[in-house]
Amino acid sequence: MSSFTQATAANSLQCVHISRRDRIAVVEISNPPVNALSSPVKQALADAIDSAVNSSEIAAIVLTGAGKHFCGGADIREFGQVTGPSLSTLCTQIENSTKPVIAAIKGSCLGGGLELALAAHFRIAVAPAQLGLPEVNLGLMPGAGGTQRLPRLVGAARALDMMVSGRSVKASVAVQIGLIDRVCSDDVLQDAAVQFANEIIQSGQCVRRSRDALAMSDTDQSRVEIDQAKDIALAKKGLVSPAKIVEAVQASLELPFEKGLIKERELFSECLESPQRSALIHAFLAEKAASKMPGLSVVLPTPLRTIAVIGAGTMGVGISIALLDAGYAVLLLDREQAYLERGLNAIAESYRKQQERNRISAEVKAERLARLACHIDYSALHGADLIIEAVFEDMAVKKELLCQLEKACKPDAILATNTSYLNIDEMSEGLDHPERVIGIHFFSPANLMKLVEVVVPEKADQRTVAIAFQLAKSMKKTPVRAGMCDGFIGNRMLAVYREAAELMMLDGASPYQIDEAVREFGFPMGPFQVVDLAGGDISWATRKRKASQRDPRLRYVSVADKLCERGWFGQKTGIGYYLYDKDGKNARPNPELEDVLSEVRAEAGIVPKHFTQQTIIDHYLAAMINEGANVVHQGIALRPSDVDVTLLNGYGFPRYKGGPMWYADSVGLERVLANIARYAETDPLFWKPSDLLVELANHGRSFSDLNR
Ligand code: COA
């Protein structure tokens, strides 16, 4: 070891490796899995840079990451408890280096990782590398000079777009917009970076600081673009950090660099303190936790290649597209040729639209469609590793289908059902291998919605569960383990909070008031808008099917039935809770609804009460939280955070509020329980507090305690 590496190795911890290539110091962040910038990493980096700058043996520094990624950013788990040098100080140290620093980038270069690279003097990346500032997704903004350096390098409009959308760019785009200097092939990154460093030394060019770059031209065109980017940021309703990003970029346009950094720091601190930041970080970590089921890591699932989808309806089509997008060979089966053709056309049409909108190229479209085969004959199933049935939601139909599938498929194939309510243990009765049956519940449209409930029946074995998780993750979905009950996690909770909305309507709130309060809270739609969109006839059929199981002591709200009896099914009939134009747009209150409401309230002897927006939300959320607690208590969800992930990714719960269980903790469980107790005074059957909620509230504990 040379004297330079000896000196630095003594100072730095194992999380930063230092080596020498002649006069170039190669400083490699090594903090698996994503090289996050924890306090020890920052300290070790500061030491390494300091030693290299002060060593007469070193002429330039290559900064890179070990493993797959350059760096996934500041350590998310350390926010609010940082020790050691700040990232901002480290970036200034790098930028101030008198010896050229070259960032050699691969994999992800995100957040604080990109801020490090921006502080370096030169940047080289492999073609697939992704560079971005996704802090906005965590309720934050770049806080280590990113808001000041990026606009100087790529222009304010583009910088705003990257920071407000949180989207990353590929190296091929980054080089075009001036974010990086060179692209090289994957296997030669370090050699290419060292060569780049030698060229810089030889040219005598030395350092080139991003803070001195001048991409922020002040033309009319760029001002228009900046204004447009600002408008997009400020339109992000409910979120705190986009407006702060706009302010910081404005500072980069108006203030000298140092003052801009101070402004950025102030704004960053405001974001850091916001409850949105903790809620969004909770959501990120909750999703990571949900995809890990205890015990599954010991099972090695089989690689999947060909997947069959049974049923070419809306769900089957969406699932097929999602599978094709993820690279699988797909066999789509239906019993009728005409249904198959309709499904195939829908898939082709979806790809045609994606190509038209420049989301995919003609080659990608052709390649994906070439992996799709359609059949009406089950003998085609012998080639499938996994089969997903997405046929009509009927126990007898599905039972019979599973028997046929088991006979037609190869011995170790997994049989998955996309049922959203039905008991899978009952469905697999009579099969030879019920241990290979599982629920993989997609949400519509299945090619877009992130959530997948992996519904684990009693008899499913570990391999089957592991394969279901593996499939969901390979499709870039967010899998959540759910136990067996009517509606699993999400639909079971939905049934309860929707009923709470109906009861409020019965007691005097108008559906428009309820929808508005729910939208104001942050959901994209209110419950009555959703019914109109889905079609009132769908839930009517379910209500009729379940009528005999209804507890006769519970209050029953017959408004929806009365609408359906009049043929008012919502958007598809132009009338439901709302009136619509022929194209289903321009929703407005249905003037005849008031008569229906008056009739139903009179029948039930209700004197309408006044509801404020706050009381509506308190009821709606209390119902959701209470049922969420039941779901956890009965083991249907493994942890409260899994309930949050389900509601965030499948039911429109506003991400910046963290999910119902996180929200309950933030409001205080005692308060939630007190609300439920008050509602129970007039309706004790509906408002039965969950045992888990009672226990936690009485012991001063929170749902978060159960996530740990
Ligand atoms: N800080 C701390 N931990 C991080 C992290 C960060 N910035 N980024 C990822 N991780 C952790 C994950 O929580 C996960 O931990 P776990 O294994 O205990 O669940 C692990 O690293 C692997 O992450 P994963 O997302 O599964 O890896 P990937 O290779 O699929 O994706 C990234 C890598 C970097 C693209 C992705 O993790 C990501 O987007 N991270 C967040 C980046 C970010 O927002 N940075 C800005 C921070 S201000």
Output the 3-class SS for 246-303.
HHHHHHHHHCCHHHHHHHHHHHHHHHHHCHHHHHHHHHHHHHHHHCCCCCHHHCCCCC
Query: For the CA atoms of 278, 280, 282, 285, what is the dihedral angle to 10 degrees?
Result: -130
Specify the ligand 1 atom closest to the Cα of 138. Answer: 44
The DSSP call for residue 5 is H
Question: Which pLDDT value is given to residue 676?
Answer: 98
Unique residue bearing structure tokens 């598809």: 572
Q: Whose CA is nearest to atom 28 of ligand 1?
A: 34
Instruction: Report d(CA 56, CA 307) in Å as an integer.
Output: 61
Q: Whose CA is nearest to atom 20 of ligand 1?
A: 33
Residues spanned by CATH 1.10.1040.50 within the chain? 490-706
Q: What is the gyration radius of the CA atoms in the chain, in angstroms?
A: 29
Q: Does domain 16-273 have CATH number 3.40.50.970?
A: no
Question: Which pLDDT value is given to residue 219?
Answer: 64
> What is residue 169's three-state secondary structure?
strand
Q: Which protein residues touch ligand 1 with a CB less than 6 Å away?
A: 33-34, 36, 69, 72-77, 108, 110-112, 134-135, 138, 140, 288
Residues spanned by CATH 3.90.226.10 within the chain? 16-273
Ligand 1: which of 34, 79, 241, 264 to mutate, most ligand atoms within 8 Å of CB? 34
How far apart are the CA of 233 and the centre of ligand 1, in A? 25
Q: Whose CA is nearest to atom 19 of ligand 1?
A: 288
Query: For the CA atoms of 255, 260, 263, 267, what is the dihedral angle to 10 degrees?
Result: 120
Strand partners, 454: 440, 481
How far apart are the CA of 76 and the centre of ligand 1, in A? 8
Low-confidence residues of the chain: pLDDT under 70: 1-13, 82-83, 216-221, 298-300
Please state the pTM of the whole predicted model: 0.93
How far apart are the CA of 74 and the centre of ligand 1, in A? 10
Q: Which residues are catalytic?
A: 115, 135
Specify the ligand 1 atom closest to the Cα of 133. Answer: 46
- Candidates 3.40.50.20, 3.30.420.10, 1.20.58.1610, 3.40.50.720; correct CATH number of 306-484? 3.40.50.720
Q: Whose CA is nearest to atom 40 of ligand 1?
A: 72
Question: Which pLDDT value is given to residue 545?
Answer: 83
How far apart are the CA of 285 and the centre of ligand 1, in A? 9
How far apart are the CA of 686 and the centre of ligand 1, in A? 41
Instruction: Report d(CA 658, CA 74) in Å as an integer.
Output: 21
Specify the ligand 1 atom closest to the Cα of 285. Answer: 13
In words, the CATH class of domain 490-706 is: mainly alpha
Residue 593, burial from CB neighbour count under 10 angstroms (0-12, 13-18, 19+): buried
Q: What is the pLDDT of residues 526-554, one digit of tens each?
A: 999 999 998 999 889 888 888 888 888 99
Residues spanned by CATH 3.40.50.720 within the chain? 306-484
Q: What is the pLDDT of residues 325-374, one digit of tens each?
A: 999 999 999 999 999 999 999 999 999 999 999 999 999 999 999 999 99
Question: Which pLDDT value is given to residue 229?
Answer: 79
Q: Whose CA is nearest to atom 22 of ligand 1?
A: 33
Which DSSP helix (H) or strand (E) runs through 13?
none
Q: Which two tokens stand for residue 206?
A: 């030395």
How far apart are the CA of 34 and the centre of ligand 1, in A? 6
